[in-house]
Structure 1
């Protein structure tokens, strides 16, 4: 019997698997963390990619919108932001002219306690506001893209003289990799913009890890040509949230340099798909079902699925905050079956957040999803076409009993690691 550590929120579950069972352990590559994050940020700011230094981009008296990540993105902004503020100070920018805008997208607003936990004493030094994609009084329309996508953004961000963003570069279902201009074109966009880009058609043309030729990424770049993002500071992190790279400078060029590092870290070749796939979820993505089920994305939406047709994906996550965005739950509960969810998406479209119903439906066409160690009731999960078993061990044992010859794939970090079948390479 072998024991394997699988993250589940803030704890680790040890999964026992009999020795004869073929197991593929799929973990992101080893990469040495930077010795000191603050020094790495300062070095990136002093040597920006395809850009002048930030202090030379600004002028005294200008207003600055500093777009920062919300609580669902775990990166050390308490360490990243102070060097940014120092650069702005050297350029003559006063702290009273800086507003930190939390890029919530369609997520809930962050509480004052969460902001203090994430940003520390910075919350006492500059103004912080939560973006609200639904409040039209806080939004402004800037027209449409060439393809007709409405461009609606946070008013504070749009009116600022200078726009800067922080972010993390990691695998993303629509954007291929998150980071770069996504923080402004989605993070502080209005619901019309987000809804028009997170739909059935867009999803047919995107894949995890695919940036080049990505229609969604093309939209991001077009949007920020109309509402310029002047400068970014992005990080690449291990599954343990250790920073291995900091890039700063031009939002497109610096992002591309970061993606090179991210690919070497996250993309892992495997020999074959499995009938049973376990995909772990660490805090804070484990807080709600909306985020936690992203652990199934890497299993199905990479270049090729790494779970066999009719297989099962086991996801251990407590989901203390419940389902997350309620819209997708309502859609799934009203649908007749999984095919009906896909049909609704194709014919009617979804509001922001509701696209999760389509994502889950497409996954369920490939494999079952079993949530374990989850606080949501079995009845709630059943209404979303998901199964529930009290513990990961119990769920695994049940599946192995059904299929004693099952091949197993274990992905301890189901949010970052991108398994790729060797034949695809």
Structure 2
């Protein structure tokens, strides 16, 4: 079993964290070994300068070779300036790289999960083989060390652990596949679900094919501050499970009644709507039928840098795609999944068309014509009166939206 420090009602000081990391890595057989350290990008709150500094102190001059691989999934690559700010450092002897998910030569296939096994893991929702492809740096190191936080997550239930391999440093096919499985279950149904969800089961199955030894330093981060409530070290499965239990106490807030209108204030770490949409995912469960979510982010000027096809497809509920699958099956399934996650629950049929459960309104720097063409409502951010909405008894304002999940009791 792995070791865990901290709890939902604690905040760990830096010295305690450094001592924990040093002690855990000291006990591992890492002398002369090559180590791939997998870390999140800047869309996740995490005190990486503290953690990577501790890892560097423990491994520099001891491990034979260390690569730090930034788990982008299919997000945009980080610049050298962004990496320096995000990771801290410098870390002499550490090679820092983005996960080049768009570059076939950066990837390697570990094998295939067969269609029957996929159907079993997916509880019958999908039956198709999937090629398990990920960044070749993972298999070219003796040991892989995941360092990253655990939060409620719209695709898998709770993020973290083996999710840093799939989709974190994976090829697009398995990323799309896992996200569409989550979309079939729906974001509102799976987000914040404890235990091994069907998507988590698929990720565990894929990770078992990795030939390198897998370790994880999983973390529960105090949202908005970057301080740590807890840390757990062990296998990715053990460390993730321990932190998911604490995250469920820390990152989920419960309401007794639904809210008519939500104003989600999207922090600047989300620089497009592809990532900023978390401000919707985390509040959808508490919005009343017929209610509204306003995503307020004047700094966001585009829907997605890396996935422009979302502007053509637009945002739609799950059944819009499922009931017209022949029209949409050729698109990237991860894009379709993102579409359903931001549009939320709804219905579609050929006669009456599409009906969303709630209205999704963007008050961003994205031009009005682009927003409306993408099937979302538009509000000029300059017309948003934050004080008036905060005083409105029918409106709930969520600061630093995107990490804390809101649910009804």
Distance 1:331 1:121, change over 3 A: closer
Q: How far is 1:98 from its partner?
A: 0.7
Partner Cα distance (1:412, 1:185) in 2: 30
Stretch of structure 1 that moved more, 186-195 or 80-89: 80-89
May I ask how many residue pairs the two structures share in their alignment?
A: 373
Alignment match, 2:397: 410
Gaps in structure 2 of 5+ consecutive residues: 1-6, 119-128, 347-355
Alignment match, 2:406: 419
2:357 corresponds to 1:366 = yes
2:312 corresponds to 1:333 = yes
TM-score scaled by length of structure 2: 0.82
2:137 corresponds to 1:169 = no
Question: Secondary structure of the residue that 1:198 maps to in structure 2?
Answer: helix
Q: How does 1:335-350 map to 2 (within 5 A)?
A: 340-341=320-321, 343-344=323-324, 348=329, 350=331
Q: How far is 1:191 from its partner?
A: 0.6
Q: How far is 1:173 from its partner?
A: 0.6
Q: Deviations over 1:164-214 (max 9, x none)?
A: 111111111112111111101211100111011111565316511113241
Distance 1:123 1:389, change over 3 A: farther
Q: How far is 1:237 from its partner?
A: 1.6
2:80 corresponds to 1:101 = no
1:341 and 1:357 in contact (8 A); partners too: no
Q: How far is 1:83 from its partner?
A: 1.6
Q: How far is 1:278 from its partner?
A: 1.8
The RMSD of aligned alpha carbons is 2.9
Q: How far is 1:121 from its partner?
A: 2.4
Distance 1:326 1:381, change over 3 A: farther
Q: How does 1:31-70 map to 2 (within 5 A)?
A: 31-36=9-14, 38-46=15-23, 53-70=24-41
1:44 and 1:247 in contact (8 A); partners too: no
Distance 1:336 1:101, change over 3 A: closer
Question: Secondary structure of the residue that 1:226 maps to in structure 2?
Answer: coil
Gaps in structure 1 of 5+ consecutive residues: 1-28, 47-52
2:166 corresponds to 1:185 = yes
Distance 1:378 1:299, change over 3 A: same
Distance 1:89 1:332, change over 3 A: closer
Distance 1:118 1:43, change over 3 A: same
Alignment match, 2:200: 217
Alignment match, 1:253: 238
Q: How far is 1:239 from its partner?
A: 2.2
TM-score scaled by length of structure 1: 0.79
Alignment match, 1:15: none
Q: Larger relative CO (CA 8 A, sep 6+): 1 or 2?
A: 1
Distance 1:188 1:35, change over 3 A: same
Alignment match, 2:217: 233
Partner Cα distance (1:72, 1:199) in 2: 21
Q: Deviations over 1:323-355 (max 9, x none)?
A: 22453x534534697664554568616426412
Partner Cα distance (1:384, 1:122) in 2: 42
Alignment match, 2:263: 278
Q: How far is 1:106 from its partner?
A: 0.5
Partner Cα distance (1:324, 1:102) in 2: 19
Question: Secondary structure of the residue that 2:207 maps to in structure 1?
Answer: helix
Q: Deviations over 1:29-76 (max 9, x none)?
A: 98442222x432422552xxxxxx434433433211111111222311
2:80 corresponds to 1:112 = yes
2:43 and 2:269 in contact (8 A); partners too: yes
